[in-house]
Amino acid sequence: MLEYGQPLHAFDYDILVRRAQQAGDATPTIIVRRAADGEKFVTLDDVERTLDHDMLMITDTLGSIAIAGVMGGQESEVSHATRHILLESATFEGINNRRTGQKLKLFSAASFRFARGVPATLNDIAARRAAELMRRYAGGRIVPGIVDAYPTPQRAVTIYATASDAQRILGMPVALEAMAAALRRLDFTVRTVAEPAADAPALATFGLHREAGEALLECIAPWHRLDVSMPADVIEEVARMVGYEEVPITLMADTLPTQHRNEVIETEEKIRDLLIGAGLQDTINYALTSPEHHARLGLNYAPLGGMKDAPFVELANPIAIERRVMRRSLLVSMMESLQYNLRYTERLAMFELGRAYLPEAATGARPVEDRRLSLVLVGPRQPQSFHRTDATEMDFLDLKGVIETLLARLGFKSESVEYRSAPDTGAFGPRCAEVVIEGEVAGLIGEIHPQVRAAFDLPAVRVNAAELRIDRLLRPHWRHEPMTPISAYPPVVEDLAFIVDESITVRMVENAIKAAGGALLTEIELFDLYRGEPLPMGSKSLAFRLTYQSQEAVLRDADVARLRERIIRRVERDVSGKLRG
């Protein structure tokens, strides 16, 4: 098998003789048949396997002795007591052989080769070679004769080629004589003909370009070249023998098609670049998971439009029991990745751009492949180094900062993004928020609930995660924001702190300040949040750094004072805020 590529199987001949005598025969008879549904068979690895009608078996008159092209049986295997060998060399149909191995979860070197094609002509050659090796190196004696059951001899494959077809595919002229010389070096039988044979199959001229009255090159592939079946295969062999370095560089002799932008792919690539620049690692996780892993996220976890009671998209023939359904959320894959990787490191900052698979309501419809982005931050705020680092754990605010940076770089203004309290999903704890972009929910961010973290066997650390829908992050390429004019006059910067009720959000105060500041207010930044004495219970202090700047003149003290008073009155009117201090 290793020398010629032909799998062989050796049976203990004396055992086969005894089996034949039990069946009332003098000599063994090798039979090829299909298995019976539910038939049991013990293979060489001492495992009893259940067969079905689609599987091919090697048998004698007493019963099965091997699964054809996959593995032999335990009863007739060769042992130290073996003195006589019956050597079997066969060719089996590749698709049937591969399906048999997949159904039985049984993969061998023989089935690997049969699934990719073994020429039938090789049987006799390989069997004689193996017998000669046993005679030469193992002191064997070859019994004269060979039994050959060859119901379907290997058909010679005939293909036609033309010089104009080579010119069309390779982009360079190749004479018919040069093509014939190159193919003869590869054991092809070639001759020039005027027309294809009357009984030539359709594949022999499939896609062939031929000028009017042009001569044909009739090529008969060698028996060992199962990969050659059509004219394009022949041209590929010609190019290989002529030399790829001889293929010239040419321009397209055609009109270029209209170019269309793919906004989704462009957005994903931009997101990938931005998050890698922010220090996160790009990951590719399994899209296959299990319902049990989904259940660990909580029974109510069905974010971003998913239905918690909808059926999973299941695989008919999964590779493993824990990979039998398509994921509904990228967060499941992230938790599986954390479960594996946190055994080797204490800090992970990673993201994934992938798809969640949601079943449609209509029976039999294809699942909705929802493109999403997931992020996870776990461990110290800064990686370990020789320098002094911040060893505190990353928290919700670190994750929110990454999301804010991402959205800002994608072109979303801060006033178009809102973070509001999220419904109970089961997966996240109390520190959780919905990300709302231009009035539509784009995703969830928050800290994973400790019970969910324990269900995935994660250590007792904060797990900060987010999941966003890509279609909410799209910004068409034609939506460009005009550049803010640069003022030639100096800015005026001052700090204002307001005492507001605990229920008042920062966004509400910012909106009031912006409404009062107008065009002269160029920047607003929250730099302090304070609760405690001497503030009353149920209130907080929000301190903002405000920047005033005019495009027309230098702002005077009186101008700034009027603007300040207008802002104070507007904050007091809209949110009942009082100037602190």
> Last residue of some domain: 246, 274, 297?
246
Q: Please write the tens of the pLDDT for every residue from 478-511.
A: 677 778 889 999 999 999 999 999 989 888 999 9
| Mean pLDDT, the chain, integer | 90
Res. 308 pLDDT band, cuts 50 70 90 = low
Which domain CATH number covers 227?
3.30.56.10
- The residues, any chain, with a CB within 8 Å of residue 162's CB and separated by 6 or more, are 176, 208, 209, 210, 211, 214, 215, 216, 217
pLDDT band at 20 (very low <50, low <70, confident <90, very high): very high
State whether 306 and 168 are in the same domain. Answer: no
Domain end point (choices 427, 444, 472): 472
pLDDT top residue among 358 and 76: 76
Same domain, 573 and 445: no
Last residue of a domain, one of 215, 246, 277: 246
In a domain, 281, yes or no: yes
For residues 304 and 329, membership in a common domain is answered with yes
Same domain for 286 and 394? yes
Q: What is the pLDDT of residue 301?
A: 52
- The backbone region for 576, taken as left when phi is positive above 0, alpha when psi lies in -120 to 50, beta otherwise, is left
Same domain, 268 and 396: yes
What is the rounded distance in angstroms from the CA atom of residue 538 to the CA atom of residue 531?
A: 9
3-class secondary structure per residue, 243-291: CHHHCCCCCCCCCCCCCCCCHHHHHHHHHHHHHHHCCCEECCCCCEECH
481 assigned to some structural domain: no
CATH number, domain containing residue 383: 3.30.930.10
One domain for residues 125 and 183: no
pLDDT in tens, 179-197: 999 999 999 999 999 999 9
**What integer pLDDT is reported at residue 172 of this predicted model?**
87
| pLDDT range class, residue 302, cuts 50, 70, 90 | low
pLDDT mean over 2-12:
93
In a domain, 251, yes or no: no
> Are 242 and 270 members of one domain?
no
pLDDT for 412 beyond 60: yes
pTM for the full model? 0.60
Could you list the residue range(s) of the whole structural domain that residue 381 is in?
263-472
Q: State whether 359 and 499 are in the same domain.
A: no
Domain membership flag for residue 99: yes
Domain-embedded: residue 483: no
Question: What pLDDT was estimated at residue 295?
Answer: 86
Instruction: Please give the structure tokens belonging to residue 321.
Output: 């029991």
- Does some domain include residue 256? no
Q: Determine the average pLDDT of the residues in 260-279.
A: 93
41-88 per-position pLDDT tens digit:
999 999 999 999 999 999 999 999 999 999 999 999 999 999 999 999
Is residue 259 within 8 A of residue 236, CB to CB? The reply is no
Position 148 in a domain:
no
Residue percentage of the chain with pLDDT more than 70 = 97
In a shared domain, residues 504 and 462? no
Domain presence at residue 254? no
pLDDT of residue 208: 94
Instruction: Tell me the CATH number at 129.
Output: 3.50.40.10
Q: Does residue 275 share a domain with residue 194?
A: no
456 shares its domain with 515: no
Based on the fold, state whether residues 105 and 224 are members of the same structural domain: no
Total tally of structural domains belonging to the chain: 4
